[in-house]
Chain A
Amino acid sequence: MIRFQQVTKIYESANKTVKAVNNITFQVEEGQICVFLGPSGCGKTTLLRMVNRLIPITSGTIEVNGKEIHSLDPIALRRSIGYVIQQTGLFPNMTIEENICVVPNLLGWDRVKMKKRYNELMEMMGLNPDEYRKRYPWELSGGQQQRIGVARALAADPPVMLMDEPFGALDPIIRERIQNEFLRIQKDVKKTILFVSHDLDEAIKLGDTIALFRSGELMQHGTPDEILSQPKNEFVAEFVGSERALKRLSLFTMRDLVSRLNPADRKSAGKRDLRHTVHMDTNLRTALSVLLSSPTGEAAVVDDNGQISGVVSIADFERLTGIHPSERTSAVQ
């Protein structure tokens, strides 16, 4: 768990002072991803980097798993926190294996244990350990480098990870794929993660909660659904934009909707012309586009085995208004 209490950061330079982070209090529960969101210069990076003491705090306290960070040795603190930065974070003078093993090496692990960990992490990232072991970072694509960056942060199995726009520089398709992998990995490793982003869609997709900032102040901290459906103030409403109803759909999958369909509809599935199908795990935003392209306004829902388990129509989407996020039957990919 990470707890911020009245955290303030004031940058003082020769001719002016900037209040980059202003009296922020909130907490992120263990095993959850909290996405820091907000316009450029609102203080996301500053707040993030105060957690591993890369930036000294002006006032307030930050606790990581119950310990105030200033009661800890900064070197030990940083080794216990995974840190992922944009692309260039890999050391060009080290091979992929050396890069991934930086922190284990600092911690003095033995060779065999490091090698095992390297293999394990590469498998986890979907990369062949032997193929990349002796290669250098610049020999990898941006997406691969980013995965190595995540693997490196995970190497010593830290309970907490800090990620500053880790996927920011990737093109949209690769980015989406890495986001999916990242969520899959997080399901297993269950780290407490602070994740900086300036992209609302990314925040909705990855965040268990979103913390939205404006010029150093916390505007709202809540689940993506809360942020989208109950914006606390004008700024939040404007930030999430007019598309928020649509964006909210991407929080749910067909599974959530089908579980609420009439049994009658399920039976009738066989009689219809069903060229339009959607998979159970498709999110509702994508599903809606399928429905809209279907001439009858209907589509069949198929499960993993290709079995049709129901039919949905656009009208069924109305049921969603009654779904509360806590009742979600599935995690969104």
Chain B
Amino acid sequence: MEVILFLQDNWREMLQLTWEHLQLVGLAVGVAILTGVPFGIYIAQRESLANLVMAVAGIIMTIPSIALFGIMIPILSLIGQGIGFLPAFLALVLYSQLPIIRNTYIAIKNVNPEMRDAAIGMGMTAWERLTKVEIPLALPVIMAGVRTAVVLTIGIGAIAAYIGAGGLGEYIARGISTSYTTMVQAGALAVSILALAIDFLLGRIQKRLSSQTAKTS
């Protein structure tokens, strides 16, 4: 009940924080897509490299986020960016890599070999095969990876407030330090709703993509 009152009083600030949050997550996942997808495609052609990359990405995932922020602060302090947007952004990019790289790798790997065979047999170059056949067929699974990454980073992004990156984590951090429970609840609620809403939206997009390639395998 108090939460609702809190929201009524603070909705402007809330929207502002949500927007910050989305910017952080959107940018981080955007960069992770631009790097992770090509990388996933690349390692799909190199089996030995793939295992190594998966292992490294897996290790990054096991580092607790607060610790990762902690690691970044001294490193980025060297260029005067110890706290704020940049370390949070970099940490989120790292976290989004694993689901995106892994899903891309698996999706490309699992493209029906007969499709690949047909593409080669019709005289496609490696690039044509990738862009005309393999990536379109892999898209639903890649999209699932993106979805996981987004939900993951929305959650982790809440902790970024501790290093001054803003976003909905502000309420949680501020609420805890001032023992203002309602503020903490409001922040947590907003983060969950944001995650659910974005997940739902991306789910729809993913579904649309996979309906086009429904009978692939």
Q: Which residues of A contact B (CB under 8 A)?
A: 52, 54, 75-80, 83, 85-86, 88-94, 102-103, 106, 136-138, 152, 162
Contact = CB atoms under 8 A, between A and B. Distances in A.
A106 B121 contact: no
Given A83-B118, A91-B133, A93-B136, A75 B123 contact: yes
B125 A85 contact: no
A77 B122 CA distance: 9
B113 to A, nearest CB: 10
Interface in B85-121: 112, 114-115, 117-121
Please report whether the interface of chain B is mostly helix, strand, loop or mixed according to DSSP: helix
Given A138-B214, A138-B215, A91 B124 contact: no
A62 to B, nearest CB: 16
B122 A83 contact: yes
Contacts of A93: 133, 136-137, 212-213, 216
B77 to A, nearest CB: 48
Contacts of B216: 92-93
Q: Which of B115, B123, B216 has the most CB of A within 10 A?
A: B123
Most central of A91, A102, A162 by chain B CB within 10 Å: A91
Contacts, number: 64
Contact of A88 (B112, B119, B120, B132): B112
Interface string B48-92: 000000000000000000000000000000000000000000000
Interface of B: 112, 114-115, 117-125, 128, 132-133, 136-137, 212-216
Contacts of B136: 93
Contact of B117 (A77, A85, A94, A137): A85
Contact of A54 (B120, B124, B212, B214): B120
Contacts of A54: 117, 120-121
Given A92-B216, A138-B214, A138-B215, A106 B124 contact: yes
Contact of A89 (B114, B213, B215): B114
A307 B131 CA distance: 60
A78 B118 contact: no
Contacts of B120: 54, 78
Contact of A85 (B114, B123, B133): B114
A152 B119 CA distance: 12
Given A91-B119, A138-B214, 13 more contacts: A54-B117, A75-B123, A78-B122, A79-B123, A91-B133, A92-B137, A92-B212, A92-B214, A92-B215, A93-B133, A93-B212, A136-B212, A152-B122
